[in-house]
């Protein structure tokens, strides 16, 4: 969901404040531990807890945002804040526990961790309640309310105001509804001056652009912000935002995740995650390579194929070979003899006769997919994203809207694999799941899909 720059700045300030409170909570936990054990501060012990800070400090604000802790700040109940805090801290605890197994955390460190989590809960809850109290007082005070003018033609001004969240409107003092069709620009100029207006919201759906342009000039002359609703552009999916190319302002309609710290974190998460998974799965790589060489000699261990990457850019995707040599030349005959279990341009067959027995075993537990981690390391793929299709299948798309699944990096796993894997036979349903993923993407969604993929792989659910 798109948010204003002001709300985005407020969110960043709150997240930075919360990150500092998390750091302070663990520092205080170390101090209290020293008091409880009647010993002086142990700097080496506190330094050994730095890895906990590397996890908790940056990820706690992200998890709080994921669970809605920064939403509806003025009207959120204390019970809702407590529940959001508990869910976020539970995720942080799970992340810390995973690393604690490798760090061999002692009882003393566990005490600091426990005290730190308690202090985090207390500090963040107090900060949230103080923020809410301050915001409520800002709204209740007529002096601090933002003075704005709604400008447009006829009933569209009231319609525009009705579309806003009441929580947002409560911080405004609407000075006047200014009808651009009935009044001239000089009247608007005088109104802005006399009423000390800080912002004008334009609803330009039924107003001539020339009239709006003159009204914007009146705002510009007084340094008053002019906000133009983009409702005159009908977009079903794309989100309108303003950006700039050089010094040229542009209205952007974006239907993919916007560049953000969260998206940058996904890139880092992909590369580091792929490297770690490769390291821990090396025995399976050796097992697969040796098994393929023995069970299907005379052909390469790896299989590569040109797949459609982001925006359809072709790239070479790698897998362990699970089919007989020259399997691609047999495709037309297999389609003729056995049909296609997937409707649309994509070919899927549960018991493909080209798969040799050991290859079927590799597919059942998705071991054949491991070489795609190399594609992730090279930046051609992501750990999570729509599955990359062969270039010839993409070229056979019947619906132009299907190409929107190419607007993000393809992934090793995705929503349909984590849920039903190869049990889904409707290409339309598959595309719908991919588009839903793109429209609702978040780093947390990637993590949940990865977690759901693990049992699907371990138990060979829906694999073929």
Give the pLDDT band of residue 108 (cuts 50, 70, 90): very low
Q: Residue range 265-291: average pLDDT?
A: 92
Contacts 24+ apart (CB under 8 A), 160-163: 160/201, 160/203, 160/229, 160/231
Residues of the chain with CATH 3.40.50.10700: 146-254
Nearest Cα to Cα of residue 308 among 401, 404, 443: 404
**Which positions ≥6 away from 460 have C-beta within 8 Å?**
364, 365
Residues 6+ apart with CB under 8 A from 3: 11
- Of 367 and 235, more confident: 367
Does the pTM surpass 0.85? The reply is no
pLDDT score, position 112: 76
Provide the terminal-to-terminal Cα distance of the chain, rounded to the nearest Å: 37
Distance CA 199, CA 148 (A): 5
pLDDT tens-place string over residues 310-351: 878 889 999 999 888 777 777 878 777 677 767 767 777 777
Check residues 283 and 11 and name the one with the higher pLDDT.
283
Cα→Cα distances 243→5, 8, 76, Å: 12, 15, 32
Residue with the two structure tokens 């009247």 = 187
Write out pLDDT tens, residues 356-402: 889 889 888 889 999 999 999 999 999 999 999 988 888 888 776 77
- Residue 82 pLDDT > 80: yes
Structure confidence by residue, pLDDT tens digits, 126-161? 999 999 888 777 666 666 678 889 998 878 888 888
Between CA 261 and CA 267 the distance in angstroms is 10
Nearest to 217 by CA among 196, 230, 202, 195: 202
**Share above pLDDT 70 across residues of the chain, in percent, rounded to a whole number:** 82
Q: Is pLDDT at 275 greater than 80 in this prediction?
A: yes
Fold of domain 146-254: Rossmann fold (3.40.50)
The mean per-residue pLDDT over the stretch 428-438 comes to: 86
Contacts for 121 with CB less than 8 Å, ≥ 6 apart: 85, 86, 89
Q: Which distant-in-sequence residues (6+ apart) come within 8 Å of 445 by Cβ?
A: 384, 437
Strand 172-179 relative to strand 314-320: parallel, antiparallel, unpaired?
A: unpaired
**Residue, of 315 and 99, whose pLDDT is higher:** 315
pLDDT > 90 fraction of the chain, expressed in percent and rounded: 22
Please report the DSSP string for 248-290 in residue order: EEEEEEE-SPPS-HHHHHHHHHHHHHHHHHHHHTHHHHHHHHH
CA–CA gap between residue 108 and residue 29 (Å, rounded): 11
> Residue range 21-46: average pLDDT?
72
Residue 197 or 318, more confident: 318
Which segment of 91-95, 119-123, 267-271 scores lowest on mean pLDDT? 91-95
């Amino acid at each position: 969901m798109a948010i204003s720059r002001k709300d985005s700045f407020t969110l960043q300030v709150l997240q930075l404040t919360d990150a500092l409170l998390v750091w302070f909570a663990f520092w205080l936990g170390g101090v209290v531990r020293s008091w409880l054990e009647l010993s002086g501060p142990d700097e080496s012990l506190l330094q050994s807890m730095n890895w906990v800070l590397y996890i908790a400090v940056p990820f706690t604000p992200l998890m709080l945002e994921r669970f809605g802790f920064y939403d509806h700040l003025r009207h959120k109940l204390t019970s809702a804040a407590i529940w959001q805090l508990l869910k976020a801290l539970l995720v942080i605890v799970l992340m810390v526990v995973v690393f604690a197994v490798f760090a061999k955390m002692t009882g003393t460190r566990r005490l600091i961790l426990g005290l730190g989590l308690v202090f985090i809960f207390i500090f963040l809850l107090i900060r949230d309640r103080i923020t809410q109290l301050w915001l409520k007082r800002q709204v209740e005070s007529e002096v601090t309310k933002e003075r704005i003018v709604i400008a447009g033609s006829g009933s569209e001004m009231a319609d525009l105001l009705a579309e806003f969240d009441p929580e947002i409107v409560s911080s405004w003092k609407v000075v006047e509804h200014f009808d651009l069709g009935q009044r001239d620009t000089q009247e608007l100029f005088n109104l802005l001056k006399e009423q000390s207006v800080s912002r004008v919201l334009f609803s330009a759906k039924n107003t001539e652009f020339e009239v709006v342009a003159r009204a914007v000039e009146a705002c510009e002359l007084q340094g008053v912000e002019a906000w133009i609703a983009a409702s005159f552009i009908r977009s079903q999916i794309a989100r309108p935002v303003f950006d700039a190319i050089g010094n040229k302002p542009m209205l952007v309609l974006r239907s993919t995740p916007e560049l953000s710290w969260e998206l940058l974190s996904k890139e880092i998460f992909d590369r580091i995650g792929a490297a770690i998974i490769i390291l821990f799965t090396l025995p399976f790589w050796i097992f697969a390579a040796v098994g393929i060489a023995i069970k299907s000699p005379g052909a390469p261990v790896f299989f590569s194929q040109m797949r459609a990457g982001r925006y359809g850019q072709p790239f070479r995707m790698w897998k362990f070979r699970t089919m007989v040599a020259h399997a691609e030349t047999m495709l037309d005959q297999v389609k003729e003899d056995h049909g296609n279990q997937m409707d649309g341009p994509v070919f899927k067959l549960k018991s493909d006769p080209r798969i040799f027995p050991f290859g079927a075993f590799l597919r059942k537990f998705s071991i054949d997919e491991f070489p795609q981690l190399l594609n992730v390391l090279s930046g051609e793929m992501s750990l999570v994203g729509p599955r990359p299709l062969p270039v010839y299948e993409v070229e056979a798309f019947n619906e132009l809207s299907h190409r929107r699944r190419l607007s993000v990096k393809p992934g090793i796993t995705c929503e349909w694999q984590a849920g039903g894997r190869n049990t889904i036979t409707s290409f339309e349903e598959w595309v719908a799941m991919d588009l839903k993923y793109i429209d609702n993407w978040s780093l947390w969604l990637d993590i949940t899909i990865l977690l759901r993929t693990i049992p699907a792989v371990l138990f060979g659910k829906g694999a073929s």
